[in-house]
Structure 1
Amino acid sequence: MEVLVMTLEGVALGSRIVVRHETGRVGPSGGPEMTDVIGHVQSVDDATVTILRRDGDCRTVELQTVVTWKPVPEPAPRRQRARSVSAEQLTRITSRGWPAIESVPLGDWELRAAGRFTGRANSVAAVGSPGVPFDEALTDVRDFYRQRAMPALVQVVVGSDQDSTFRAAGWTALEGYHGGAVVQVADLRQSYQADPAARVASVADDDWLANYGRVDDVPSARAVLEGPDLVRFVSIGTPAVAIGRVVVTDQWAGLSAVEVHPEHRRHGLARRIVETSLAWAVEHGADKAYLQTMRSNTAALALYEPYGFADHHDYVYLQDTGSAQQ
């Protein structure tokens, strides 16, 4: 194991490897069950290695369970059109692009908390199965948020089985402007041009945050915004008068936080931010992109339409109005 750790420490982040490890279960032959994880190395330490698979799922493997590993070549380019990805898979990708400070799995579900900075980071991403009976899953969800003195919220795809099941259990839609969003997607091209006047930084500095305007808890906001490995913060002006955020998760780019100071709107700054963001994303391996915005935000929808963005699915937040904690 010591040799394995030393060898993995020498592998650059982003290298593609395959790891065979024991699952802790008994295999068909009576010996330990083993499975392979293949993907790009996201992090490695003395105890674990985290690998990003092609489908956007991150797997953390304990080194003490590893039987063998080896580098593998990059696959031949294959392009899956953005519209062909399921809402369930895309929800997982968007969650990794906007990661909660606390993330606890419950089967396929993800229980998220981040100091109440945005609904996306403070709700259950309820896609797939919780792996336990629904009533038991509800108890786990309520306990998770009760322990953090937070309201229990779930994010569900509109029209999905989860949407119907939660509503049947008495959960109701969160009202107001931030009660849900439309997720739009686009296939990317290679011809975007980064604006030479735009700054592309790896951190959300005070100037950038001042333009975002939705930050009450700066440490929590920075932890979420800066959480992914491949994320950049784009700005124009000194001090900044236009900003945006772009993240790359495997082959997906996520655009968010495109804001222009009211006194500088209608001068094309938002398009310059988007163009620069997409150019950076393509350079870092993205061939598809997503964004999340309110259906009532007609200005944002008009901004992204020329780039080929089209509706993929809607999601809504449901609240536990029948629980005593509410």
Structure 2
Amino acid sequence: MEFTTGARLEVRITPADVGKRVSVRRLTGADDGAEKFTDTVGVLTSWDDGVVLVTRRTGETVRIAESTLVAGKVVPAAPARRRGPAASFRELTRVAARAWQPVEREALGEWELRASGGFTRRANSALPLGEPGMPLDEALGRVRRWYERRDLPAYIQTATGAEGTQELLCAELESRDWLREVTAQMRIGALAPLADGPRGADPASAHVRLERGVGEAWLRRYQRFEEPGPHVLSVLGGGPSVWFASVDGDDGVPAAIGRCVIDGRWAGFMAVEVDPGRRRQGLASTVMRALAGRALDEGASAAWLQVESDNDAARALYDGMGFTTHHLYHHFRAA
């Protein structure tokens, strides 16, 4: 609760505070004759025509009638509670982008337009890391036309929930009817405990094969595309130091797979998938442990991964491995 009982309530924010993190309280109704209030914490993204917009760390934008405000103040950034390595939003975003390198790219100011035949939004979206060098509406028109020429939907990848993230841009996109389709978590953690594995784990319980190239068997388990054309192989094989892991299964299809991209101090884990009939046997952990060991050998010390916010099973797995959420990222699609 940002406003304690007995404290003097007053609105100490103005439209000049747009872009700052705020805490506001508004009157939302009455219950049995008593006033009812709701608190909202987030970035003040707009204050126009009597309507206040606050974008929460989840990317959700809350519309508040100015007439219902009873209190408001600027608040400092949320204190870091993560146990993992120190990292900035910009550093992590660049590291993740290098792990999903597009087939084609073009600069638009400090935005990067990326295309890879539609394989994974992370390689088929505009990535803003600053200003586009022109008014926003003009930039959005350029983005739309760039993807239209490639017969692809226009996506923009944004982030919320950390210092320097893009709550203001999210609100601008929503006001122009861009649709937020996917929200995922960027998680980070220490690498060494991941390589050691959980207590009681048997590293020899499943043999993990590590290879530099992506093979046909690995692709049969991945199944995130219609046809594994050259664009798929290019994206999966791109990155500073890429490793593919697999555990033997039946009929030439691995029981479990994973991909790791090692980039300086960072090791990124992705494409960790397990045969539905072999789940809850520790295979995902075994694959990640083998990849983490290789990353340690190459000098990495920190780990990152991305998981969609509604994937409860994966989030629980990564919770147990010590990963914590650094920020959220979203893909907005042109309406």
Scaled by the length of structure 2, what TM-score is found? 0.66
Task: Find 2:111's aligned residue among 99, 106, 109.
Answer: 109
Q: Which residue of 2 aligns with 1:185?
A: 188
Task: Give the Å deviation of 1:232.
Answer: 0.4
Go from structure 1 to structure 2 and tell me whether the alpha carbon gap of 1:221 and 1:298 turns closer, same or farther (over 3 Å shift): same
Q: Which residue of 2 aligns with 1:132?
A: 134
Matches within 5 A, 1:258-277: 258-277=272-291
Task: Give the Å deviation of 1:294.
Answer: 1.2
Could you tell which deviates more after superposition, 125-134 or 283-292? 125-134
Task: Find 1:228's aligned residue among 221, 233, 239.
Answer: 239
Q: Is the contact made by 1:109 and 1:125 (CA closer than 8 Å) also made in structure 2?
A: yes
Q: Which residue of 2 aligns with 1:282?
A: 296
Q: Which residue of 2 aligns with 1:160?
A: 167
Matches within 5 A, 1:193-232: 195=203, 197-218=207-228, 219-232=230-243
Task: Give the Å deviation of 1:288.
Answer: 1.2
Instruction: Tell which structure's C-alpha radius of gyration is larger.
Output: 2
Q: Which residue of 1 aligns with 2:33?
A: none
Structure 2 Cα separation of the partners of residues 132 and 303 of structure 1? 43
The one-letter code matched in structure 2 to 1:209 is: L
Q: Is the contact made by 2:111 and 2:132 (CA closer than 8 Å) also made in structure 1?
A: yes
Q: Is the contact made by 2:186 and 2:325 (CA closer than 8 Å) also made in structure 1?
A: yes
Go from structure 1 to structure 2 and tell me whether the alpha carbon gap of 1:205 and 1:112 turns closer, same or farther (over 3 Å shift): same
Structure 1 Cα separation of the partners of residues 189 and 314 of structure 2? 15
Q: Is the contact made by 2:244 and 2:257 (CA closer than 8 Å) also made in structure 1?
A: yes
Q: Is the contact made by 1:127 and 1:162 (CA closer than 8 Å) also made in structure 2?
A: no
Task: Give the Å deviation of 1:83.
Answer: 5.2
Q: Is the contact made by 1:182 and 1:312 (CA closer than 8 Å) also made in structure 2?
A: yes
Q: Is the contact made by 1:182 and 1:311 (CA closer than 8 Å) also made in structure 2?
A: yes
Q: Is the contact made by 1:190 and 1:282 (CA closer than 8 Å) also made in structure 2?
A: no
Task: Give the Å deviation of 1:221.
Answer: 1.4
Q: Is the contact made by 2:112 and 2:127 (CA closer than 8 Å) also made in structure 1?
A: yes
Q: CA RMSD in A?
A: 1.9
Could you tell which deviates more after superposition, 108-117 or 127-136? 127-136
Q: Percent identity?
A: 37
The one-letter code matched in structure 1 to 2:185 is: V
Q: Which residue of 1 aligns with 2:25?
A: none
Which stretches of structure 1, 4 residues or more, deviate above 6 A after TM superposition? Answer: none
Tell me the SS of whatever aligns to 1:148.
coil
Q: Which residue of 1 aligns with 2:178?
A: 171
Q: Deviations over 1:89-143 (max 9, x none)?
A: 3112101111111121222211111111011111111232222222221122112
Q: Which residue of 1 aligns with 2:14?
A: none
The one-letter code matched in structure 1 to 2:217 is: D
Structure 2 Cα separation of the partners of residues 205 and 136 of structure 1? 43
Structure 1 Cα separation of the partners of residues 150 and 85 of structure 2? 37
Structure 2 Cα separation of the partners of residues 126 and 247 of structure 1? 22
Q: Deviations over 1:235-282 (max 9, x none)?
A: 111532110000012211110011111121121111100111111111
Structure 2 Cα separation of the partners of residues 266 and 191 of structure 1? 18
Would you say 1:122 and 2:124 are equivalent positions? yes
Could you tell which deviates more after superposition, 307-316 or 84-93? 84-93
**Structure 1: unaligned runs, 5 residues or longer:** 1-80, 322-326
Task: Give the Å deviation of 1:286.
Answer: 1.4
Scaled by the length of structure 1, what TM-score is found? 0.68
Structure 2 Cα separation of the partners of residues 191 and 156 of structure 1? 28
The one-letter code matched in structure 2 to 1:200 is: L
Task: Give the Å deviation of 1:289.
Answer: 1.2
Would you say 1:99 and 2:101 are equivalent positions? yes
The one-letter code matched in structure 2 to 1:142 is: R
Task: Give the Å deviation of 1:193.
Answer: 5.0
